[in-house]
Each structure stands twice: as structure tokens, then as C-alpha cells.
Amino acid sequence: MSAPAIRVEGFIKRYGKRVAADGLALTVQRGEIYGLVGADGAGKSSLMKAVAGVLAHDGGTVEIFGAVIDSERSAEQVKQRIGFLPQGLGLNLYPDLSIEENVDFFGRLRGVPSSELAARKDMLLGMTRLDAFRARPMRQLSGGMKQKLGLVCTLIHEPELVILDEPTTGVDPVSRRDFWAILGKLLEEKGITALVSTAYLDEADRFHRVSLFHEGKVMGEGTPAELIARVPGTLALFRAEPQADALPRLKAQFPQTEAMGAWLRVFAEGLDATQAQAAVDTCLTTSASASTAIQVTEWFAREPELEDVFVAMLRQRGARLDTSLPADAPTAAPTSTLAIEATGLTRVFGDFRAADAVNFAVPQGEIFGLLGANGAGKTTVIKMLTGILKPSSGSGRVAGADMRSAGLAIKERIGYMSQAFSLYHDLSVVENIRLYAGIYGLDDRRARQRGDWVIGMAGLAGFENDAAGRLPMGLRQRLALGCALVHEPRVLFLDEPTSGVDPIGRRMFWDILFHLSRREGVAILVTTHYMSEAEHCDHLALMFAGRVVADASPETMKQELIASAGQLLELRVDRPVPAQNALRDAGFANVALHGRAVHLLSHDADTDRERLPALLDKAGIAVQSVGLRPLSMEDVFVQRITALEDAGRRSP
């Protein structure tokens, strides 16, 4: 029997006094996609760099294809069999070279014969849909295009093992699906092995096996199904009014409770569906007067997702999900006052229209999501609305002030948290808060009061004197949010606020946003690439090529997709790539790989559930199960954007 592709035992890596990886162990068999799942700083990158032979380690053993990697010489002996894509958009590429020049450079660097380079390049650029942009310089590519080009350059020498460090972080959902489809096809056709890290728990289904990382240790290892089975329970999704009163009551009994737009999402650990519904009903209808009893409607229950299990494991280790926000604060009265208005908002850079006649409105107290692929124009719109960038045409009002003429007035009425960490790394938590309080003109007494509020809100008690740059990612982001809120703005702009934050940090962050909107009436405009976070928004605007192409609630967008393209079916099969091809040949246009499953949209789901197993059986593909699956905002996003891209390619 041949040696596994990767074997790691007792792996230790230190950076000074900090232990980044503490006794890690895993085995990756040839021909599988193995996932490392965890937040920034969990130890994933350190392990992957050691496996790639570019980082020395302090203890344990690392074997690649049976060879022990313990020196530069031993690493060099296996490097030709490895492809490594480091973390960060396009960090392994050359910005001044075109797409084709980057591929040619890496081909020659890896010793690919000229007779083979052209054919491989054509195949990979075709698979990644980059073939139409061969002459475009890398610096002009969107984030998704950079990552796909990075993958092409990593694969050009046809390695046996590819090591991909968070390849989809900061990448839009369409590019993410493209990325996984390419990897699945290569796994099927070329037999490669892949070690892939991610902070997106919803990607775990795409792996054969997974290791869950936390603070340098492995919390669990196995197939996604095996890991989910370790923490039994029921995931419930329902409506309850008034929602702002229901949420704290549920959290007291079910810590893993969160608001998802108009819905509540509860993980009832250890309970089956019937027990979970009874427990939720009891929680909301007892120990309260008749006037405050809360009625549950539109109940759905299903198996928990891996993120629910991951969070439960962290809670078992002492992690907390609660914030210091008052649960009994009065609910903000509903208002029709518009906090943000964009009317024909346009920004032109030379011949490029970054924003093209953008229109939308956000009422006070609403969480509004601005979605779009990399380069769609989201950040440009935010910069115009916040007064950072002047529009070429159009108008906008924020918190009652005209963005063209208000100047300082807008800045005093809004909070803005940029895509990049905007605080001062060398200043302590308290020093950062005081600095922002001073910038916004708060007097000493008010600055102290608001500073205490920020410390409590962000869960920073005990970290007051720590340098901001040394905080864990989740705490850093909550500190940045606190500094944006120190002057009590009525409107809050958040640009990709949770990228790289662990699941508990993201949930606490969204609990704070829910409190701000429902209890304090703050209007929040947020951009995100986490489509699960789009479910938290009350309303969404979807941008494409600088324009708003959809403007509705998440639920409405899903219903529109069902009406136009059908319901979502999931087929568990033994050979996903041939199954995808067979289904497309059978006339299904919207077919996507999802790990060992295939997803498709069906106009007649009941009939297709009955006939598809026989259809695939004729193609030599075994079907383990076929079932309906609820549509997600990722399904909506991918279908809408892909249709627009296809229409653009067909137009002259």
C-alpha cells in the first residue's frame, strides 16, 4: 500500500513565546480533499507552510509521500510534486504581468516543456473562464479572478498535491463556486490530492474529511457527517413576534440563538424536532404575562450544520456567546424616516463606471445588505455616501444631510468601519477608544462614559491595556465597531466587517448589530461575502457591474428564484463530476457541485426526485439520496450573477 499524501504527528510551531500549533496530527490520503477549518490564528497557515516546505517547525514530524520533511534539502526533493497557493489575494502573482504572462512565467519556472505548456494553459484558462482576459494585467483583476489565476499558476506543472491556504477568503460567491468546481473536476480527472484551509464553515461539505482547528489544537476530525453527529440536536428556523423580545428569552435557554432578518434560528442541542418545538414554545409562552406572550409561526426543523456543531464544541470548552448589551432595553419605535437615500448615484474613473445610477433607500432601524461580486461597486457607493469620494452625478442623503454639501455634518452623524482594520495597532484598546472619542469631539466625561459602553459592548473587559494589533481577530473587529459607535451615530456603514472572524466572533458581532437596529434604532448598511450573513439583513440590494439589479428582502429574492428557476434538489452520488455532466446533458442548466453532492434547480421537483436516480444509473452513477433543500442566499446570488455574466458574454 502506498504512503499517504501527508502524515503529520505532534506538530509544534512557536513564534517567540506564542505557540501557534500545539501537537497537531492528521493524515491525508491520496486523492482526497482534506479541509482545515478554523479562524485566523488557529494554526492552519503554519501547518500548511510546513507541509509545503517553506516553514521550519519546532517539534513533531511532517511526511509528504512518505518522505520526512526536516530540512531544506528534503523539502526540495518533493517540491516539484507540490503546488502551494498562499493566503491573500494574488500574493503569488506579478501585478504588472498579464494573465497569460503570469501563467507562462510559472510554467517555465516549474520546467513545463514548451510543447505541453500551451495545451495546459488553454485547458486551465478555459476552466477558470479567464481565457477571454489573457492580456489583462493582474493588478486590474477582481479578487475572484486573482484567486483563479493563482490556482492556474499553482496547477500549471500538474502537481500531485495542492496546498491552498484560504483560497476563497474575500472572494465573491460566484468565484467561490467556480473555484470548487475546478478543484472537484481536477480531483476526478487527474487524481490530485488537496489540502485546503477555510474560515467558511459552509464550505466544509465540499471536503472528504475535515479537521476543526482552534487556538493551535485540533478539536475534532472526520467526515462532515461524522463531526455533525458528535453534537446531536435540532436546528430550528421560525418567526416570533415581537422578535426583539423573543431573542433574549430564547438566548437564556438556547445559547446558540440568532436573528436572521425576520426569522429566528435556534440550535436546540440534544433535542429532536418534536422536543425542540415544545421547548421553544414553553420558553416563549411561560414565565411571562399574557400581554407579553410570544407566538411562534412558520416553524421549520432540520439537521444542524457544521458551524452549529463547531460553536457547540467551543462552548463546551468555555467560550461564551453573550455580550454585555442590556437584554431588557426598550424596543425602538418603528419609523418610516429614511436614514440613507441614494438617487442616481454614479462614479466614473476615466472610461470605467464603478457605480452606475445606483438607487436604494434604507429606513432608520433597518439592517440593509449591499451584495455583489468583487468589483461590483459596493465600496465605491459607501465611500460616496460617507463623503470620502465625490460622485460624478446623482445625489445621496445620510441622516438627513446632503452628502455633497454637508461635509463634517455627515461625519458626525455616521459611523464607518472600513474593509481594512482601521485602528492603531500600537495603541491600547483604551487609547484607541479615547482617540476616536476626541476626533468626534466628545468631552472627557462623555468620552469615559462611552468608553465604558464600548468595553462592555465589545466584550473587551480585561483587554483594556492590550495593544489593538495583538488582539484576536474577533475582538479587534468588535473594537473597531465600538470606535465607529463611540459618538452614538444614527447610521452605521460596515464594509466586509467579519472577514476572517471565527464563528463565535461573527455571531457576537451580529448580536450587537441586531441590538443596535432593534433596540436603538440605528440604520446599518453592511457589505459581506458571507452569504449566510446576508440572511441576517432585513433588506438587500444586489449589485452587478456598478448597477443595482435586485432590491428586496432575502425571502422575496428566494421566492422569485423558485418562481423563475424552480426548487433546489440535492443528489448524493458516488461520482459527482460525471453526475454533473450527465444532468447538464439531460437539460438541467443550473447544476453545481457541492462536495460529494450535486445541487440543481428543478421546475418539477416531485417528478425529478423520482426519475433522476434511474437517469444517472444509466450513466453508471450510483445515487445514495435525492431530497429537497432550502434555498440559500448563495443560491440566489450565484444564479442571478451567473445569468447576468452569461448575458453579457452573449451581447455584442
Q: 181 in a domain, yes or no?
A: yes
Which pLDDT band, with edges at 50, 70 and 90, does 234 fall under?
Answer: very high
Whether residue 289 is predicted with pLDDT greater than 60 in this model: the reply is no
Percent of the chain predicted with pLDDT > 90: 44
Q: Is 639 helix (H, G, I), strand (E, B) or coil?
A: helix
Residue 329 resides in a domain: no
- For 135-139, 192-196, 286-290, 293-297, which range has the lowest pLDDT when averaged over its residues? 286-290
- Using DSSP, state whether 78 is helix, strand or coil: helix
Mark whether 173 and 246 lie in a shared domain.
Answer: no
Q: Are 601 and 526 members of one domain?
A: no
Asked whether the predicted pLDDT for residue 291 surpasses 60, the reply is no
The pLDDT score that the predictor gives to residue 421 is: 61
Which one, of 66, 49, 67, 65, lies nearest residue 11 by Cα?
49
What was the pLDDT predicted at 328? 58
Q: Is the pLDDT of residue 502 over 80?
A: no
pLDDT band with cut points at 50, 70 and 90 for residue 290: very low
Integer Cα distance of 184 and 177 in angstroms = 10
From 591, 641, 649, select the one nearest 174 (Cα to Cα): 641
Residue 367's SS3 state is: strand
* More reliable by pLDDT, 502 or 651: 502
Q: What CATH number should be reported for the domain holding residue 566?
A: 3.30.70
Give the mean pLDDT of 354-365: 94
pLDDT: which is higher, 257 or 334 = 257
pLDDT above 80 (res 647): no
Q: How confident is the model at residue 332 (pLDDT cuts 50, 70, 90)?
A: low
- The CATH number of whichever domain residue 35 belongs to comes to 3.40.50.300
What is the average pLDDT across 390-411?
A: 82
Q: What whole-number distance in Å separates Cα of residue 9 and Cα of residue 462?
A: 35
C-alpha cell at 53: 516546505
**Residue 62 CA from chain centroid, whole number:** 30
Backbone CA torsion sign across 374, 378, 382, 387: positive
- Rounded CA separation 304/267 (Å): 7
198: cell is 477555510
Q: State pLDDT tens for residues 59-77.
A: 999 999 999 998 888 988 8
Say yes or no: 632 and 616 in one domain: yes
213 DSSP β-pair partners: 218
Of 539, 546, 508, which is closest to residue 524 (Cα–Cα)? Answer: 539
Report residue 21: phi and psi, to 5°: -140, 130
Please state, rounded to an integer, the average pLDDT across all residues of the chain: 87
pLDDT at 329: 60
Furthest-apart CA atoms within the chain: distance in Å: 80
Question: Do 494 and 628 share a structural domain?
Answer: no
Residues 114 and 27 in one domain: yes
What is d(CA 128, CA 122) in angstroms, rounded to the nearest whole number? Answer: 10
Quote helix, strand, coil % in the chain, to nearest 5: 40, 25, 35
242: preceding bond cis by omega (within 30 degrees): yes
Q: What is the DSSP string of 549-618?
A: EEEE-HHHHHHHHHHHH-EEEEEEES-HHHHHHHHHHTT-S-EEEETTEEEEEESSHHHHHHHHHHHHHH
Closest CA to 92 of 140, 126, 138, 24: 138
Grid cell digits, residue 241: 413576534
Angle at 222 between CA 218 and CA 227, to 5 degrees: 90
Beta-bridged to residue 359, according to DSSP, are: none
Compute the average pLDDT of residues 324-340.
69
User: Exposure of 330 by Cβ count < 10 A (0-12 exposed, 13-18 middle, 19+ buried)?
Assistant: exposed
Q: What is the pLDDT of residue 643?
A: 84
pLDDT in tens, 25-61: 999 999 899 999 887 778 898 999 999 999 999 999 9
Grid cell for residue 190: 487527474
Does residue 566 lie in a domain region?
A: yes
133 in the same domain as 20: yes
User: 297 and 344, same structural domain?
Assistant: no
Confidence of residue 409 (pLDDT cuts 50, 70, 90): low
Task: List, in sequence order, every beta strand (DSSP E) within 350-423.
Answer: 352-363, 367-372, 393-398, 401-402, 414-417
Give the integer Cα–Cα distance in Å for 332 and 25.
51
Q: Is residue 60 situated within a structural domain?
A: yes
Q: How many domains does the chain have?
A: 4
Residue 112 contacts by C-beta under 8 Å, 6 or more apart in sequence? 120, 156, 157
- Interval 18-31 mean pLDDT: 91
Reduced to 3 states (helix: H, G, I; strand: E, B; else coil), residue 342 is strand
* pLDDT over 60 (residue 652): no
Structural domain harbouring 588: 556-650
* Residue carrying the nine cell digits 466614473: 348
Q: How confident is the model at residue 215 (pLDDT cuts 50, 70, 90)?
A: confident
End-of-domain residue from the set 186, 204, 222? 222
Segment 276-285 mean pLDDT: 91
Choose the weakest-confidence range: 55-69, 282-296, 448-462. 282-296
Same domain, 21 and 115: yes
Which residues touch 145 (CB under 8 Å, ≥6 apart)?
130, 133, 175, 374
pLDDT tens readout for residues 517-575: 988 899 999 988 778 788 889 999 999 889 999 999 998 999 999 999 999 998 989 88
- Checking if the pLDDT of 334 tops 70, the result is no
Distance between start and end Cα atoms, the chain: 56
Distance of alpha carbon 316 from alpha carbon 359, whole angstroms: 46
As a whole number of angstroms, the distance between CA 228 and CA 220 comes to 10
Looking at the fold, whether 594 and 499 belong to one and the same domain comes out as no
- Scored b (16 or more CB within 10 A) or e, 396-435 reads bbbbebebeebeebbbebbbbbbeebebeeeebbbbbbbb
Statement to judge: residues 265 and 388 lie in one domain: no
Residues in the chain: 652
pLDDT given at position 260? 85
For residue 456, what pLDDT band results from cuts at 50, 70 and 90? confident
- The answer to whether residue 37 sits within a structural domain is yes
Q: Which of 303, 324, 349 is the last residue of a domain?
A: 303
Q: Contact at 8 Å (CB) between 50 and 13? A: yes
Q: For residue 156, with 0-12 CB atoms within 10 Å meaning exposed, 13-18 middle and 19 or more buried, which class applies?
A: buried
Give the range among 129-133, 427-431, 505-509 with minimum mean pLDDT. 505-509
For residue 490, give the nearest of 604, 317, 366, 324 by alpha carbon: 366
Task: Tell me, yes or no, whether 287 and 391 share the same domain.
Answer: no
Domain end among 494, 518, 549: 549
Residue 89 lies in a domain: yes
Regarding whether 143 and 94 lie in a shared domain, the answer is yes
- The pLDDT tens digits of the residues spanning 595-632 come to 678 899 999 999 999 999 999 999 999 999 898 888 88
Letter for the amino acid at 150? G
How does DSSP assign 609-634, residue by residue?
HHHHHHHHHHTT--EEEEEE----HH
Please indicate, yes or no, if residue 441 is contained in any of the structural domains.
yes
Backbone CA torsion sign across 39, 40, 41, 47: positive
In a domain, 149, yes or no: yes
